[in-house]
Every structure is written in structure tokens, then in C-alpha cells.
Structure 1
Amino acid sequence: MPDAEELISDALAAVRGTDVRLAERQLDRLMIGTGAADGAAAVDAALLRRLARGVGRLARHGWQPVDLTRLAARRLDTRAVGLVTDALAAQRRGLTGPVPPWWDDQLRDLGAAVWWDADETHLVGWSARTGCDRFTALRTAVDVLALVEGLPPIAVLRPPPGATGAGTARGGAAGGSRMLDRVRALLAKAESTTYPAEAEALTGKAQELIARHSIDQALLAGVAEPADQPGGVRLGTEPPYAGAKALLAQEVAAANRCEAVWSDDLGFTTVLGWPADLEAVELLYTSLLVQATAAMLRGRDERRTRGGGRRTRDYDESFLNAFALRIGERLRAATEDADRQAAARTGPERLLPVLATRAEAVRERVDSLFPGVTRSRLSVRDADGWSSGTSAADRASLGPGPGPKRQVRGRR
């Protein structure tokens, strides 16, 4: 009889193929196991070991825990996300080298912990927790393994576990927690209010705080050896309206001295920049996505009131694209105003060279990680949606009307 590893390899090869009947037969063989008294337990332990090895390999090739679970949810289902999370916990258990704090932070946020007593009983316990039978559990495990072992390398944004500098790599800006707490409070109010003008005024105030903090960080770095270098984060830009979400991420990034690259096939946008700016981009993007969705729903109601007909996908997408562009203009205006005030206070000869040096470092980072970037033009298919989206983002205008259309930079 074949051993557990051979059974798993055969099932994996069959699942990757096009012969459905062969895949079912190989899964039946996994059900039977190796033929020994503990054959099923041996299969379960081997599956978990192989999954842990797979996520460990991906960690060295740029994949962070949140990236893996996001993609598993997109391509598979919630059950698969649970198995990926368990594989991450099993892989973390076996690490002996330095582990960066941000890695453990992501695992904690995902709830990745070893809850099972022995690897041989993991899949049995997982089946009970998810309420599925053994065949479904084996099918899910093989599907997850196919996903994990089939993913390509992506840009390494932070030193992964075991890499040089991993033990001291930081996930965010030092010394900015008080400012970020104020920003979070402003954005929470913006998300909860039912008045669009108030939401946008609160968001504008949050951007002012962020811009001033970014300048302070830049000036500090200009007089000392920088402890950080340009890094990156990935923001989920999954369907529906992935292009509009990517445009929003790009607009928020541009307003905060960062660069954004959209990987449509993988469902995320990579944002590159300095630590303080990256944390601000994450906060703003998450909040503005909530605000944009709420504004879109209000726009639908207004459209129905005017007799504009039922909801259409083209209307929604055009609305969100217009919202992203107008919000981007507002955020950039707040940043430019903060720059002018700082230059007047400290002198342009001190501030501008520092900002230029940091911007050049970010561009070099983009060029090194994404040498084949192209630009993708977003089209407008619904004029009413575009007009409504612009109006929704412009009710508390901070400047002139909308400017030229922008393009999303993406990796093809």
C-alpha cells in the first residue's frame, strides 16, 4: 500500500487535472488511508505537515498571513480559510529563528493558534468544529494544499520569519500611536454619521493630522540616520468593483506620499512608502471604503427618488470611481496645505529636500519590486453614477471641481 505522502501527492495531482472522476477516486483512496490500523491518522498528520511547509515556503516568497487568508476566501471558501489559519499556526509552532512582531500580530488578529492536541487528530477535530464529514474535510484540505503549493512568489515587503532583521522589523510607525488614535476616532465618527458633509469634514481633519505627522517624521529622519526604509502593505481590492477599490487605494496612497500597484489577479493592491505613511493609508482606505459604500447606497435611493430606475452595476462602479477621484483631490489638497504651512514654519530649504529624497526612495522601491508595471484606464459607463459619485464626495468641498481622470497602475 502507498504511504500517506504518496496518497496526498496522487490526490493533489488529480485535483489539479481535468478528470473529475479520477479526482474522486483519489479522494476515496485518501479516505481509506494507508491500510494500516492508523492509516487515517497518518494521512491527517501528513496533510497538516505539508500545509505547514507550504505556508512556510510562501512566507519566504513574500506572502503574509493576511494575504493567504484573503486569497483563500476569494478562491475557495470560509472553511478553506480556517484550514489556512491552522496551517499558519502549525508553521509558527515549528519556527526556531527570529519572528517579527508584525507576523505574530497578524496571526493573533486572524485567530491562528494551535487548538488541537495532536496533528494526527487535527482533521477529525476540524471536521467536528466546522460540521462537515470526513470526505468534505479531505477535499477541502487537498484544495487548500493545491492553492498553497500553486501560488507564485510575490514582492517581499518585510523580512519574513527567519530572515535577517526579522526579529526587529516593525509593522508601523513608532511614536505615532497618539496621533493615530485621534485619526481613528475621527474616522469612526465619519463612518457613523448620516450627514455626508460632516463625514467628509471629519475625514479632511483626519488627513490634516496625518499630513502634519508625516512631515514631522520626515524632518526627524532628515537630521538623523533613518531607522526605517520604505516598506509596503497590501490592501484587499477584491470584487465586486475591484477596479474602483484599486483606484481608491491609489488616491489615498498618492495623497500620503506613497505609491500603489494593483495586482488584479491576486485581489490586492500593494502600497509602498514610509512606515508612518503606510499606517495612515491603511486607516484611511478602510474607512473611506465604508464611507464610499454608504454614499453609494444613498446615491441609489436618490436615483430612485428622481425616477432614475433600478440599480445597475455600471451605475455603482461609476459612482465609486468618481467618489475615489474626488476624495483623492480633497486628501491631496489637505496634504499640500500642510506642506505649505510646514515650509513657512521651518523654511522650504529644510523641508523640500527631505520630502524629495524620501519620495525618490519610494520610487526606487517601486521600480525594484515591480519592474513590469503597466497602466490600466478605467472607463465610465454610467454618467448618472459618475455625477452622483462626484457630488457625494464634493458636498463639503475643500477646493475647485473634479480634475482629469486618473489611471490605475497595475501589474499584469
Structure 2
Amino acid sequence: MMAKYGVEQAMLNDANPAGDAPADRQIVLDNPWAMERVRLINRIALALGCQLIHLGRDGDGPARRVHIFGYASDLERVELLYTSLLLQMNGGLNAQTVPMRSGVRAWRRSWLLGFISRVGDRIEEAERGAREQARGETTATGRSAALVLADRKSVVERSYRQAYPRARSGGRTTMTGNGYGAGWAAGSRADIGGKRIGRTTAGSIAA
């Protein structure tokens, strides 16, 4: 539903650019697991056609700051989906019992990484499916869905590169602990765009 909505908004606003203009916003992600929250919102942002840069710690505390670029409708989708998945991720992790002889923090972190990997893949798959379904459709201006989405991607990338011309991709994530599989399974069950999305508010994004 969220993926289909994103494509529909892009198509509808092609004839009215002012209705869905490129934008950006900075968000602070608090502890616990601030870096894993960065990874979660980054996977969501990239899947939904946005670009994100991690700016590091926010002040002297453990919180992290990210800067996201995208069209306004896509940024709204990122925040709504992140808020929902963060609640589901926290709830799922809190319900886990760490196996005996496992390092608690390492196991829990690997669980989070498994969850994030799986929901990220599922969101990407949903977005590809929505684009495929829109193939052949045209906007009021006569442009195809593929062209509209490609143009939006180029605009977002240009805005991101203008703001951070020296930005580079992050390094590989190292992982210890054996909770990844359990987290991956939980990510397979997570709601990535059903009826619950939209009932939460973006105000809880740093919760």
C-alpha cells in the first residue's frame, strides 16, 4: 500500500510540481541502539527514492543525526514507515529471550541487523513491484511512470551531491552474535505498509 501510494503521488504531482517539491530534513535518532536506527532509516530512505547521510553524533551524547533528501511525499513516507518499524523492532527485540552462553549485547545487535536487513529487502521488493505495476501508465502531461520516477531520482541525487559533494558510502557492517536469523524471521512478519501505517505519528521518530 505504501509503495503504491508513492508511485501514485509521483504521477499525480507530475503536472503540479509545486504540490510535491524536493525537500530535505535533519532527524536526530536517540539511543538505545542509535546506530542501528541509522541503518534502519537509511534502508527505508534508499528504498523509497531518497538519499541519506549520517552526520555523526548529535552533540556530546549517544544520539545520531541524519540528513535526508527527497520529495516531500517520499520524506513523509520515510518518517511514517520508520516510526512504525521502529516500534515493531523495539517490541520484537524486547520479547526475545537471549539463549544461554550468548553475549547479550552481541546477540541483540545481531537480531536487530537481521530485522533491518529483512524489512529493507521487503520494502525494496514492494517498491519494485509498484513500479512494475505502473509500467505503461502516463501522467496528465503524457509522461510515462518510468520517466517521472527516473527524473525524481536524478533531482534527489543532484540535491544530495550539491549539499555533500564529498560524501562517500559507509563501510561494511561487522557483526558478532548469532541472533541474526531470529531477527530476519521477525522482519519477515513485520508490517511494512499495511493498515497500521499512518496511525502512528512522526513525532515519535526519535523515541
TM-score of the two chains, using structure 2 as the length reference:
0.79
State the SS of the aligned residue for 1:373. Answer: coil
CA–CA separation in structure 1 for the residues paired with 2:116 and 2:127: 16
Residues 55-134 of structure 1 mapped to structure 2, 5 A cutoff: none
Aligned to 1:263: 55
For the pair 1:358 / 2:155, whether they are aligned, the reply is: no
SS of residue paired to 1:246: helix
Query: What letter corresponds to residue 377 of structure 1 in structure 2?
Result: R
The Cα shift of 1:365 comes to 0.8
Q: Could you say if the C-alpha distance between residues 273 and 225 of structure 1 is closer, same or farther in structure 2, counting changes exceeding 3 Å? A: closer
SS in 2 for 1:251: helix
Alpha carbons 1:235, 1:249 under 8 Å: kept: no
Q: Establish whether residue 217 from structure 1 lines up as the match of residue 5 from structure 2.
A: no
In structure 1, runs of 5+ residues without a counterpart are 1-207, 399-412
Counterpart selection for 1:317 from 105, 109, 120:
109
Pair 1:253-2:48 in alignment: no
Kindly, what percent of the aligned residue pairs are identical? 27
Classify the secondary structure of the residue corresponding to 1:235.
strand
Q: CA RMSD, aligned part only?
A: 2.5
1:243 and 1:378 in contact (8 A); partners too: no
Partner of 2:174: 379
The aligned residue for residue 205 of structure 2 is: none
Pairwise CA distance, 1:274? 0.4
Q: What displacement does 1:292 show?
A: 0.6
Q: How far does residue 315 in structure 1 lie from its aligned partner after superposition? A: 1.4
CA change 1:387–1:218 in 2 (3 A) is same
Which structure's relative contact order is higher, taking Cα pairs within 8 Å and 6+ residues apart?
A: 2
Going from structure 1 to structure 2, the CA distance change for 1:332 and 1:311 (only over 3 Å counts) comes to same
Offset at residue 310 of structure 1 (A):
6.1
How many residue pairs get aligned? The number is 184
Q: Deviations over 1:214-242 (max 9, x none)?
A: 22221233234444432112333233322
- What is the aligned partner in structure 2 of residue 277 from structure 1? 74
Per-residue deviation, 1:246: 0.7
2:191 is the alignment partner of 1:394: no
SS at match of 1:376: coil
Q: Is the 8 A contact 2:22 2:70 kept in 1?
A: yes
1:291 and 1:397 map into 2 onto residues whose CA distance is 8
How far apart in 2 are the matches of 1:377 and 1:254?
17
Provide the rounded CA distance (Å) in 2 between the counterparts of 1:225 and 1:317.
42
Distance 1:251 1:319, change over 3 A: same
- 2:198 aligned partner: none
Match of 1:340?
132
Deviation of 1:395 after TM superposition, in Å, equals 4.2
Structure 1 residues 339-379: Cα deviation after superposition (integer angstroms, max 9, x where no partner)? 111114449x6111110110000001111112232323221
Q: What are the residue-to-residue correspondences of 1:128-167 with 2, within 5 Å? A: none
1:328 aligns with 2:120: yes
Deviations 1:52-88 (A, max 9, x none): xxxxxxxxxxxxxxxxxxxxxxxxxxxxxxxxxxxxx
Q: Distance in 2 between matches of 1:311 and 1:379?
A: 15
Partner Cα separation in structure 2 for residue 264 and residue 317 of structure 1: 19
Runs of at least 5 residues in structure 2 that lack an aligned partner in the other structure:
59-63, 193-207
SS at match of 2:133: helix
Code of the residue aligned with 2:132 in structure 1: it is R
**Which protein has the bigger strand share?**
2
Quick check: 2:119–2:190 contact (8 Å CA) kept in 1? no
Q: Deviations over 1:251-283 (max 9, x none)?
A: 111221111111222222211100011111111
For 1:238 and 1:396, the matched residues in 2 are separated by 22
Counterpart in the other structure of 1:231: 23
Separation of aligned partners in 1, 2:175 and 2:17 = 47
Aligned with 2:135: secondary structure? Answer: helix
The structure with the largest helix share of the pair is 1
Shift of 1:380: 0.9
AA at the equivalent of 1:275: A
Q: Tell me: CA distance 1:369–1:297, structure 2 relative to 1, closer, same or farther (3 Å).
A: same
